[in-house]
Structure 1
């Protein structure tokens, strides 16, 4: 596999694998940690989802500036190393049980990802600009994407075992260690990056950096403050009159306005030959926002589904194996706690006295105690965050099959264009949501636990859509971007991911407002079908641009 690709690919593959090990270990436990009433921050579902959405949105917003700095000043290698170190420190700080330390840690991860994520993807693309590797670009990005998901798959087993054995802080420490291993591996491959790592500098017609600071970053900060204050006043009749559901969401959306304007300005100021490719990329960015809004529910709403609505009990030999590996934990059923549990405020009420609930496992919340449980009985439950390994597990299984399928089509001159792959990726992703609609029906709208196979099926289908879309998105950016703004346009791809991630947090925060959970998933299906129809409507023009650029 490796001998047909650049010698740098294994180092970039392993660096990204370990970086994603750290990131997805952290993401897999993040909302669970926030909602933990004993050793976490006792947040409600809405509070945790809102913070999660804001966090992952900002994580993918900073590549805009990180790509720009790498393009003009630092180069890719320096930016990637600095970004990795910042993220490693941030992950380790998350285990400090202090809200200020948590926000500082999140800030380091946000900044670090901005320097790491777009630039390692761009550096990889630079190798495939060589003629001998040109027709291997999509395959190279698929291999790279598989590395991402190997890290994402194995990390949750470490996270579960360390959390059960030693607590949240040690799980976050493991995320930091993974990130530092990634940085070391990347550094070891330095000799293979020569000739592809050079900074491009400021090109004629580029907006000076001070102008970007003054006319993009400063306005974004100002707009963000305006968004936070504009409708964030509480009243007796309206607990939160924020325009988009919360102050943080308002601030994020307003802050994005100057950045979106900047990318629009790139199109209008572009040279004649660059205008159509930039326009095509901006159209793709717009469409995939809705994909990320639904896909990123894996760390919020689908994590909640695994936690509360999925049968996680393990017995017999399986239970012994999971117990030995510390992937499962015994919990005790208390009937009185079920009656007293108040999900809205995560408290236990005893007469007029209100106490924070610390003993009641949320797993029993939608159980039937008269039919299934005895007071004081114990059950062994596999760790919720293990469900986060289902999606990357599917990626590892399906990536070789998808690569082989497109290779087979290419040999027969029938391979679809990259925009066509993205369009079908959106359609397949929409179909995956129907599995969760069926899961809600099978569980009588959450009153009965359902098999984990519903999640496995949902993730299996959306993974096919993901493999048609996400690595193809990275590939099309590197194919269509003008050479002097490649990292900047890669930052645009991550900007669309950022906006989609924030939308995902908004969607997840509405989970408790839907009495019929099927309606929650129907909304997601509608969003993806709208994106699918829009992409197919744009397909003819997008394929025309690809043909004009003589790329596939």
Structure 2
């Protein structure tokens, strides 16, 4: 397989695999760590989801700037190494139990990802621009994408074993070790990168970086500060007088205003021949926001579903294997475990004073009485972060099938256009939410636990939607962008992903406000259905624009 591709591919494949190992290990335990009362920060569901959403939003915001800096000034090799080191240090710091250090660590990860993520993909693409490998470009990216998901699949098993065996800090350190292995692997392969690593510099027609700072970054910072400081009307439902739910959410939404206005101005100021392609891309950016808003619930709301509403009890051989691999933990049942609870602790009165009892076993609160263990009896539960490996598992399994499906259609000249694939990807993703609606019904709205197969089915369906949409999105941006603003439009894709990630955090923060959990998932379904409807409404025009450019 490797000998038909550039010699750099194995090194880039393994570097990305280890980088994703570290990132998804960290994401898999992040909200669980924040909500842990005894060894974490005892955050509520809303607080943890809000911080998670802001974090992953900023993680996907910085690649826009990191890509431009590497492209014009720093070069890809230096940027990738710098980004990897920043992320590795951030992961090591993340397990230190201090909020200021946690925020510092998150900042390092945000900056590091901005330098690493866009540039390793760009470097790989540079090897496939010559005639020798041009025909194998899609195959090369598919191999590279598999590396991402291999890392994302195996990392959660390491994370579960380490935090069960040692604690949160050691699990985060493992993420850092994985990142540094990725950097070392990348450096070992430097001799194979040759001239493909050279920075492009500032080309004629490129928007000056000073103008980007002046018209995008600086206004966003100013608006973000205004959003943080500005307060709405206080009420019983909103005692802190937030405008959109929290200070960070207010700041992020306000910061997006200059960005949206800037990208809108690109359309209105464009030459007549560029208006339709830019308009098509802006439409795709809008629907992508809604897709990522629902998809990224995997690290927040769906992580909570796997933790509290899924039957994680294991016995027999599975229990022995998971116990030996440290992928499970034992939990003792208390006779009054189905009583009053609040997150991961309970409040009770002792001598007239309210006392918080930590590590209260909320797992038992929705186990039927006839299935409860005896008092003080211990049962084995598989670690909740393992559910984060379901999506990458499906990607590994389904990618070859999706590729084969489109190859089958291509041979018969029936392959749909890229916008059509995106439209059907949105529709399939919407159908995945219906699986969770059914799961809530099966569990009588959370009063009983449900099988893990509901999560497996949900991830299986939405992964098909992901494979129809995510790789296609980057492809269509590169195909439709006017030559002089390709970098800006690629940055628009990352910005749309960033806004979608923040929307995911906003949605997840409302989990506890829905007494009927089916309504939470119906909201997500409606968002994806609206995105699907918008995509199908403009599909004919999008396909026409693609045809005018002689591309599919």
Residue 359 (structure 1) shift: 3.0
Aligned alpha-carbon RMSD (Å) = 2.1
Deviates more, 1:457-466 or 1:133-142: 133-142
Is the aligned partner of 1:550 residue 2:550?
A: yes
Cα separation, 1, equivalents of 2:469 and 2:211? 34
Q: Contact 1:60–1:494 (CA<8 Å) still a contact in 2?
A: yes
Mapping of residues 234-273 of structure 1, within 5 Å: 238-270=238-270
Alignment check: 8 A CA contact 1:66 1:491 kept: no
Q: Which residue of 2 aligns with 1:391?
A: 391
Deviation at 1:236, TM superposition (A): 6.4
Offset of residue 12 of structure 1: 2.2
User: Any residues of structure 2 matched to 1:104-123 within 5 Å, and which?
Assistant: 104-123=104-123
Query: What is the distance in 1 between the residues matched to 2:252 and 2:383?
Result: 32
In structure 2, the CA distance between the partners of 1:437 and 1:473, relative to structure 1 (3 Å rule), is: same
CA contact under 8 A between 1:338 and 1:360: conserved in structure 2?
no
In structure 2, C-alpha distance between the alignment counterparts of 1:548 and 1:3, rounded to whole Å = 37
Matches of 2:236 and 2:414, distance apart in 1: 63
Give 1:234 shift: 5.5
For residues 431-480 of structure 1, the C-alpha deviation after alignment (integer angstroms, 9 at most, x for no partner) is 11111111111111111111000000010011111111111212222333
1:47-87 CA distance string (max 9 Å, x none): 10011111111111111211221222112222222111111
Would you say the 8 A contact 2:345–2:360 is kept in 1?
no
* Cα distance between partner residues in 2 of 1:474 and 1:10: 22
Residue in structure 2 matched with residue 481 of structure 1 by the alignment: 481
Q: Which whole-Å CA distance do the structure 1 matches of 2:267 and 2:200 have between them?
A: 20
Q: Deviations over 1:277-320 (max 9, x none)?
A: 33322221111111100000000000000000100011011101
Q: CA deviation at 1:420?
A: 1.4
2:349 is the counterpart of 1:350: yes
What is the deviation of 1:116? 1.4
Structure 2 residue 144 is the aligned partner of structure 1 residue 144: yes
Distance 1:455 1:237, change over 3 A: closer
Distance 1:485 1:16, change over 3 A: farther
1:87-98 matches, within 5 Å, as 87-98=87-98
**For residues 137 and 282 of structure 1, do their structure 2 counterparts lie closer, same or farther at Cα, with a shift above 3 Å needed?**
farther
1:523 partnered with 2:537 = no
CA contact (8 A) 1:141 1:474 kept: no
Match of 2:334 in 1: 334
Deviates more, 1:150-159 or 1:515-524: 515-524
Structure 1 range deviating more: 36-45 or 224-233: 224-233
Show CA shifts across 1:322-373 (max 9, x none). Answer: 0000000101011234424223x94422244233332312312322446523
Tell me if 1:189 matches 2:183: no
- 1:138-166 deviation line (CA, Å, top 9, x unaligned): 44333322211111000000000000011
Kindly tell me: are residues 29 and 456 of structure 1, through their superposed partners in 2, closer, same or farther at Cα, counting changes over 3 Å?
A: same
Distance apart, 1:482 and its partner CA: 4.2
What is the aligned partner in structure 2 of residue 405 from structure 1? 405
Give the TM-score, by structure 1 length. 0.95
- TM-score normalised per structure 2: 0.95
- Secondary structure at 1:196's aligned position in 2? helix
Distance in 2 (alpha carbons) for counterparts of 1:122 and 1:136: 16
Partner of 2:29: 29
C-alpha distance after superposition, 1:80-99 (max 9, x if no partner)? 22111111111111010100
Partner of 1:335: helix, strand, or coil? coil
Are the structure 2 counterparts of residues 197 and 280 from structure 1 closer, same or farther at C-alpha, using a change threshold of 3 Å? farther
CA distance 1:347–1:233, change in 2 (3 Å):
farther
Which whole-Å CA distance do the structure 2 matches of 1:143 and 1:418 have between them? 20
Unaligned runs of 5+ in 2: none
Determine helix, strand or coil for the equivalent of 1:357.
Answer: strand
Shift of 1:170: 0.5
Instruction: Give 1:135 shift.
Output: 4.8
Question: Which position in structure 2 is the counterpart of 1:289?
Answer: 289
Provide the C-alpha distance between the structure 1 equivalents of 2:277 and 2:311, rounded to a whole number of angstroms. Answer: 49
Contact map agreement 1:35 1:44 (CA 8 A) in 2: yes
Distance, in Å, in 2 between the alignment partners of 1:237 and 1:519 is 19
For residues 419 and 143 of structure 1, do their structure 2 counterparts lie closer, same or farther at Cα, with a shift above 3 Å needed? farther
In the comparison of the two structures, how many residue pairs are matched? 551
User: Using a 3 Å threshold, how does the CA distance of structure 1 residues 211 and 225 change in structure 2: closer, same or farther?
Assistant: same
Does residue 299 of the first structure (1) align with residue 308 of the second (2)?
Answer: no
Q: Which residue of 2 aligns with 1:180?
A: 180
Note the C-alpha offset of 1:208. Answer: 2.3
**Structure 1 residues not aligned, in runs of 5+:** none
Partner SS, residue 336 of structure 1: coil
Point out the more displaced range, 282-291 or 502-511. Answer: 282-291
- The equivalent of 2:154 in structure 1 is 154
Deviations 1:11-37 (A, max 9, x none): 222221111111100000000000001
SS in 1 for 2:304: helix
- Residues 254-263 or 96-105, more deviating: 254-263
Q: Give distance in 2, aligned partners of 1:379 and 1:545.
A: 59
* Residues 487, 347 of structure 1: alpha-carbon distance in 2 compared, 3 angstrom cutoff: farther
Separation of aligned partners in 2, 1:269 and 1:192: 43
Please say if residues 53 and 503 of structure 1, whose CA atoms lie closer than 8 Å, have aligned partners that are also in contact. yes
In the TM superposition, what are the counterparts of 1:40-51 in structure 2 within 5 Å?
40-51=40-51
Q: Distance in 1 between matches of 2:265 and 2:186?
A: 35
Q: Deviations over 1:514-536 (max 9, x none)?
A: 11111111111111111111111
